[in-house]
Amino acid sequence: MAASPPRPPLRLLTLALALTVASAVKISAPHTPISRDIYHSSDSLLDEIKALVARHSDKLSMDAVKTSNKGYSAELFVVTFNHMKESVDNGSKVHILLSFGQHGRELITSEVALRLLYILTEKRKIAGVDLSSFERVLENLVIKVVPMENLNGRKRVEEGELCDRRNGRGVDLNRNWSVDWGKKEKDYDPYEENPGIAPFSEPEAQIMRELSRSFKPHIWVNVHSGMEALFMPYDHKNTTPNGASAHLMRSVLENLNHRHFQDSCLVGSGGGSVGYLAHGTTTDYMHDIAKVPMPFTFEIYGDEKASTDDCFKMFNPVDKTTFDVRKSSLHVPTIFFVALFLSDNHCFCQHSTESHQQVVHGISHTF
């Protein structure tokens, strides 16, 4: 009877098993957690904004708007800055509407919103800006800030769903608007881009639509993170609008990129620059339907080296130095630069009726 072959040592069997498992299973890189020492929670950020409004009630007001649809409710907070709140806005001022935090995982955008409100009220220093000139700019503006458009989605992220950009019932709010709604590209990802059951099916989108109708902004900026870019329409096709207003929009962005960001940002249409088409977006609606003269999307931060499943790091600065730099210097002055550029060009900011026509002029060179 032949002798049995010698058995390999147990440690070799263990090593072989480990190598087999490693080759068959992709081992995920560790996910970066929320840097809670530098980021506010959603509740603490909103509390700080409420306290700021209370300290500066002569210039700021805050409204809570709540609505629901098919058993799902959402609440948005809208902060209004008016330099002379007691005076009647007689149509001579430029209306600016800003939204932050439309995607829950983009925490840095809401921090920028808070920073902006401090600058508007407590004149936190902006490098290279003369505060007296800054005051004269503010006298010509009414600004509405939505610091956290997707509060329910933000709560999901804080509970551990760090890659979730959707609202509280799984809809991407930046796909829930009516322009080219529901179209799906070949690389459509239902987890990322669920457009909802119909245009404006989501309470958050309904509230923002009504806000755009009542406020009638001349400038709209949707602030996101994920890359560094200054976008104009369109998102749903690889082209920009035609005409003088589109030429002016591009000139605004090119000048802004050159003067403030050393030509480091992508500039152009979202659909032509970002690498994919997006259907049912807010900015395309603001241009085509709401007829906002200057609708933009600003992408304020992105870590290209981060793993695609390490979402907090991909969309948000994770160290305090980068966080402070981005919060303080990136894109906050751009809103006012746009107004200044329009004044330089004596641009007529027109809405759908002549009664809402404005001439933006008389603002000094501040930036």
The catalytic residue positions are: 299
| 290, two tokens | 């709401």
Q: Which of 82, 108, 56, 76 is nearest to 331 (CA)?
A: 108
Q: Are 143 and 174 contacting, i.e. CB atoms less than 8 angstroms apart? A: no
Number of neighbours of residue 85 by Cβ within 10 angstroms: 15
Q: CA 88, CA 125: separation in Å to the nearest integer?
A: 29
Q: Helix-strand-coil percent breakdown of the chain, rounded to 5?
A: 40, 15, 45
Cβ(270)–Cβ(235) below 8 Å: yes
Find the Cα–Cα–Cα–Cα dihedral 195, 229, 146, 277, rounded to 10°: -10
- C-alpha–C-alpha distance, residues 218 and 295, integer Å: 8
Report the helix count and the strand count for the chain, using DSSP H and E. 13, 10
- 91 φψ region: left (φ > 0), alpha (ψ -120 to 50), beta (else): left
Distance CA 105, CA 224 (A): 10
CA–CA separation, 10 and 167 (whole Å) = 51
Taking the C-alpha atoms of residue 250 and residue 268, their distance in angstroms, rounded to an integer, is: 7
